[in-house]
């Protein structure tokens, strides 16, 4: 029997490949044969279900080829310390095992290891017998990590506190739909956008809403980095089956910043199989990243394809109106009296991301409380001088030249040329003016970027534009439009 089982395992390994074999078939053990039925033991219920679904027919066919008496197979879940050969069904008939097996034991409920561990909605995983060879300290450490597998949720990040605008309305609507749905709607839901635009806020909000609607649903929310960390620990302690069962038995799996596993082939392989297992079971998967699935470099093509299966919702950079709305909501939450002109100034000047915007507001409120000064435009500029300079530096002279040239329908090369025709000279002066207003470059530096002109030429351009803005409303409107476009 052992020789037959060894040949069958070798055939299976050749057919399914090394990775699938190690994950699903290597842990199988032959328990015995009775009445044309082969009994195979697996460590977990999840593994039993997977083997029955994907490999049972093939194993039966291979056994029949080796032994024509075999008509069926029975896959059972047994504890790690159960005897290799299980015997004595209810009718008292013996199971024929191998010679090296221990004395036949009765197959009782004590040997069956169902998925009996309990967990909360952000649940824990069971202890695994595979840790028995490790030191008690190592075992305790791993089990402690297991119980804290899901990242903590920020109570501020709820749907009620999420300010909706045109840049994020699709992502918000999709997140609400998934959070409130009683069945899987979009699988996976893939949210992507730049830093500080609200991806993590929406992820937390979904988890909070699911917990509120149905506390019994098992949800795991964690970063891709922590997923990789847990996988590495499972490999280290030879406990990959418990890892698989933990992640593949949830109702909702939420992975934040999935781009972190780019280039990490082993973690991608495991995540790919976890993703497929959950989707096959109609469990919800929610992913966030900084790029769309098709743009994730270092990801396997098959994984990128899976991530784009469901609904892909992007979060665009914020508009001025959305930034102002966020600031007003944040000011109300802080119960702070902040002049509207200060909020408008912040929304106008800090355009990179919402996180930086909220940080700026916290700074000026804290400064007012600690120093005892009323919040004003002047105090705001003083407190945030470093942040404002950093944002100013993000606009480059090259960008200004390109945007102004497009607006006035001239070539960028004309910005550096010696041409003095008004159709070219006036846009060039506007570009110099904006470079002075929106960057931290000195006058000589600006002059050099415009064909090596002297700093006095830049001073003249700035003065001329300021004069025209006061006398020509249409010109002033053009300049203001260009400023807004460059700062947005």
**Strand partners of residue 288:** 191
314: three-class secondary structure by DSSP: strand
H helices of 239-300, in order, are 240-248, 265-280
**Strand partners of residue 17:** none
Q: Count of H helices and E strands in the chain?
A: 21, 10
154: three-class secondary structure by DSSP: coil
190: three-class secondary structure by DSSP: strand
| 198 marked as binding residue | yes
What angle, rounded to 10 degrees, do the helices at 473-487 and 397-408 form?
Answer: 130
Locate tokens 């030879």: which residue?
Answer: 238
237: three-class secondary structure by DSSP: coil
Q: Can you read off the two tokens belonging to residue 91?
A: 């009718």
| 196 marked as binding residue | yes
Q: Torsions phi, psi of 185, nearest 5?
A: -105, -60
CA triple 287-290-293, angle to 5 deg: 60
What is the rounded distance in angstroms from the CA atom of residue 347 to the CA atom of residue 320? 6
Q: Can you read off the two tokens belonging to residue 335?
A: 């119960």
State which H helix or E strand residue 390 sits in.
helix 385-393
| 310 marked as binding residue | no
| 439 marked as binding residue | no
Can you say which residues are annotated as belonging to the binding site for ATP?
196, 198-200
Residues at the binding site are 196, 198-200
């Amino acid at each position: 029997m052992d020789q037959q089982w060894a040949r069958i395992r070798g055939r299976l390994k050749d057919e399914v490949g090394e990775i699938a074999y190690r994950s699903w078939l290597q842990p199988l053990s032959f328990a015995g044969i009775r009445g044309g039925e082969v009994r195979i033991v697996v460590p977990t219920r999840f593994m039993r279900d997977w083997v029955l679904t994907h490999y049972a027919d093939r194993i039966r066919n291979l056994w029949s080829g080796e032994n024509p008496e075999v008509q069926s197979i029975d896959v059972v879940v047994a504890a790690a310390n159960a005897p290799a050969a299980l015997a004595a069904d209810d009718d008292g008939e013996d199971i024929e095992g191998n010679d090296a097996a221990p004395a036949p034991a009765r197959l009782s409920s004590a040997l069956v290891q169902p998925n009996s561990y309990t967990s909360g909605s952000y649940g824990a995983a069971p202890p695994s017998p595979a840790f028995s060879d490790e030191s008690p300290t190592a075992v305790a450490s791993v089990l402690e990590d297991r119980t804290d597998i899901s990242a903590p949720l920020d109570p501020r990040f709820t749907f009620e506190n999420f300010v909706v605008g045109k840049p994020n309305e699709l992502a918000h609507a999709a997140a609400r739909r998934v959070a409130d749905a009683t069945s899987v709607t979009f699988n996976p839901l893939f949210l992507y956008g730049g830093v500080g635009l609200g991806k993590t806020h929406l992820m937390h909000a979904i988890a909070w809403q699911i917990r509120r609607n149905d506390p019994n649903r098992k949800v795991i929310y964690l970063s891709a980095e922590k997923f990789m960390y847990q996988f590495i620990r499972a490999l280290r302690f030879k406990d990959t089956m418990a890892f698989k069962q933990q992640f593949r038995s949830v109702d909702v799996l939420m992975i934040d910043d999935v781009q972190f596993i780019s280039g990490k082939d082993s973690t991608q392989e495991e995540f790919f199989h976890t993703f497929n297992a959950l989707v096959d079971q109609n469990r919800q998967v929610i992913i966030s990243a900084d790029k769309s699935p098709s743009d994730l470099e270092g990801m396997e093509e098959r994984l990128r394809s899976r991530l784009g299966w469901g609904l892909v919702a992007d979060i665009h950079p914020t508009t001025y109106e959305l930034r102002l709305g966020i600031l007003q909501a944040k000011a109300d939450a802080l119960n702070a009296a902040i002049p509207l002109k200060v909020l408008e100034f912040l929304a106008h000047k800090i355009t990179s991301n919402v996180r930086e915007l909220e940080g700026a507001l916290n700074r000026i409120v804290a400064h007012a409380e600690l120093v005892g000064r009323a919040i004003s435009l002047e105090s705001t500029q003083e407190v945030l001088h470093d942040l404002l300079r950093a944002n100013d530096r993000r606009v480059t002279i090259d960008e200004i030249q390109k945007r102004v040239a497009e607006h006035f329908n001239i070539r960028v090369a004309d910005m550096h040329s010696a041409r003095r025709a008004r159709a070219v000279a006036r846009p060039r002066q506007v570009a110099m003016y904006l470079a002075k207003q929106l960057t931290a470059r000195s006058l000589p530096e600006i002059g050099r970027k415009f064909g090596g002109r002297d700093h006095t030429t830049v001073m003249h351009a700035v003065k001329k534009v300021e004069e025209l803005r006061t006398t020509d409303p249409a010109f002033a409107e053009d300049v203001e439009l260009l400023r807004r476009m460059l700062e947005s």
